[in-house]
Amino acid sequence: MSKRLEGKTILVTGASSGIGQSVAKEFARTSPQSLKIILTARRLEKLRGVAADIQKEVGDGVKVLPVQLDVSKQEEVKSFHGKLPDDFKDIDVLVNNAGLVKGVAQAPDILPQDIDIMFSTNVTGLINMTQAIMPIMKQRGESGSGDIINIGSIAGREGYPGGSIYCATKAAVRTFTDALRRELIASRIRVIEVDPGQVETEFSLVRFGGDKAKADAVYAGCEPLTPDDVAEVVVFAAGRRENVVLADSLIFPNHQA
Ligand code: NDP
């Protein structure tokens, strides 16, 4: 349990599955008496299920609010904060986790709609959320306070064949995050990036349009990370004392080169 997280309000994007779901649960476990957690994604029913799981596991000391939100829709994101109940408005930690990969194709063959959805979710969506929530963090205290935790990827550091657009989106996340951290150095807002290697989630299923056989084949012969492995790093970073920024973490399964 981290005393530093007590009483905080946490917002997680992409909390309906995978890493986002695990991050929300790990925060709840860490500070079960006082946390408020806002779960967002497009699939509201899934979010309600995650909220129910959290309450079942840690009780109702943690307040959980599932909210449907598509991060790629700028107007939806802009009006989102104003619609929150007052006791969920003072957001301390934003976890920008929503993201996806679509298709596997060499660069000349990537479909325009797949390019659009990857950039509008992974890059513009993350920027939309940051622009919407950062002003709340800036108002807190004399020099602001809060954590913006962006989920990047090893794919933002090195390319792989068939993944050029996804890699480009995650490289954009990486440089955006780095620039933002430098812009905020004089404030008490911390900007943190966590870059996972291979994690077993719905990610591959989305990539292959729901084809489970193809998705499962991605993990054949290897032992990927679990979403909980990544969640532990995210929550650890948020729980450091305020002068400590775990700015940049790469987390791999042991087999991954
Ligand atoms: P999942 O597919 O399990 O989770 C992705 C989440 O993003 C879902 O909750 C999905 O919810 C949400 N999402 C997608 N599009 C939108 C949108 N437009 N608006 C709001 N929410 C959206 O995959 P992961 O948990 O693996 O992915 C989480 C993050 O981790 C992503 O940023 C991904 O790039 C990154 N990552 C994943 C790796 C892996 O190997 N799995 C490796 C490295 C990084 P919904 O469909 O309900 O909207």
Please give the pLDDT value at position 1.
58
Domain ranges (residues) in the chain = 3-251
- What would the two tokens of residue 18 be? 């995978």
What ipTM was predicted for this assembly?
Answer: 0.99
Catalytic annotation present for 166: yes
Q: Which of 11, 12, 13, 16 to mutate to test the pocket of ligand 1 (most atoms within 8 A of CB)?
A: 16
Please give the Cα distance from 163 to 129 (Å, whole number).
Answer: 25
- Measure 77 CA to ligand 1 centroid, in angstroms: 17
- Give Cβ neighbours of residue 32 (< 8 Å, ≥ 6 apart): 1, 58, 59, 61, 62
What values do phi and psi take at 60, rounded to 5? -100, 20
206 ligand 1 Cβ < 6 A: yes
> Which entry of 56, 89, 166, 214 is annotated as an active-site residue?
166
Beta bridge partner(s), residue 199:
225
Please give the pLDDT value at position 240.
96
Catalytic annotation present for 160: no
- Give Cβ neighbours of residue 20 (< 8 Å, ≥ 6 apart): 12, 13, 14, 39, 41, 95, 97, 98
Domain spanning 3-251: CATH superfamily: NAD(P)-binding Rossmann-like Domain (3.40.50.720)
Please give the pLDDT value at position 253.
95
Q: What per-residue string of b and e applies to 110-144 under the rule 16 or more CB within 10 Å gives b? A: beeebbebbbbbbbbbbbbbbebbbebbbebeeeb
96 ligand 1 Cβ < 6 A: no
H or E element, residue 164: helix 164-183
- Measure 186 CA to ligand 1 centroid, in angstroms: 31
CA angle 103, 107, 109 (to 5 degrees): 65
Could you say which residues of the chain have pLDDT below 50? none
Q: Which of 13, 38, 42 to mutate to test the pocket of ligand 1 (most atoms within 8 A of CB)?
A: 42
- Measure 143 CA to ligand 1 centroid, in angstroms: 32
Q: Tell me the residue ranges of DSSP E strands in the chain.
A: 9-13, 36-41, 63-68, 93-96, 146-151, 189-196, 248-251
Q: What is the pTM of this model?
A: 0.98
